[in-house]
């Protein structure tokens, strides 16, 4: 299914009952029930269990970032997932560890000025709110005056 130009995966349960007339099957009565919410909740729960079990065994923060990045990246089916840490001055974000699927380069070891992401995004992060970007190229929030994420990052 496609909505607003984006492919949506739906899960359904199908029930088929014969329609009879004089002992003969003359058709079928089909009922589709949308089970998407239940299936996605089950998948999310299974992911949380796997993440918790994996991280429970780790003590090193860098290993935790690496394992979490890999599991999250695979679960979300994205090209790259990682953690950025904002320095004590609150001005620079650095990626210590990330995961890629091999299609894009790692950003591990990279640092960028925090304000290069734009004031709207930075304000949201500073407020401790969740930040979700489905496509940085089409994000409607105002862009900073400095160059945005370089094309070499292959961020979407």
Domain ranges within the chain, ordered by starting residue: 9-57, 60-156
pLDDT in tens, 62-91: 999 999 999 999 999 989 999 888 899 989
When mean pLDDT is compared across 42-51, 57-66, 71-80, 121-130, the lowest value belongs to 121-130
**The token pair that represents 93 in the structure block:** 């974000």
Q: For residue 146, name the pLDDT band (cuts at 50, 70, 90).
A: very low
Q: What's the predicted TM-score (pTM) here? A: 0.71
When mean pLDDT is compared across 15-24, 38-47, 64-73, 118-127, the lowest value belongs to 118-127
CA distance linking residue 81 with residue 99, whole number of Å: 5
For residues 22-42, give the mean pLDDT: 96
For residues 57-61, give the mean pLDDT: 95
**The token pair that represents 96 in the structure block:** 């210590």
């Amino acid at each position: 299914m496609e909505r607003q130009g984006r492919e949506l995966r739906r899960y359904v349960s199908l029930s088929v009952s014969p329609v009879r007339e004089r002992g003969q099957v003359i058709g079928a009565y089909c009922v589709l029930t949308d089970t998407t919410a239940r299936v996605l909740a089950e998948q999310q729960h299974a992911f949380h269990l796997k993440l918790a079990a994996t991280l429970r065994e780790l003590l090193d923060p860098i290993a935790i970032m690496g394992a979490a990045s890999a599991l999250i990246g695979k679960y979300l089916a994205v090209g790259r997932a990682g953690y950025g840490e904002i320095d004590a001055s609150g001005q620079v974000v650095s990626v210590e560890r990330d995961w890629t699927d091999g299609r894009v380069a790692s950003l591990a070891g990279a640092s960028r000025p925090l304000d290069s992401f734009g004031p709207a995004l930075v304000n949201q992060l500073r407020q401790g709110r969740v930040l979700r970007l489905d496509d940085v190229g089409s994000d409607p929030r105002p862009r900073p005056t400095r160059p945005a994420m370089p094309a070499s990052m292959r961020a979407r």
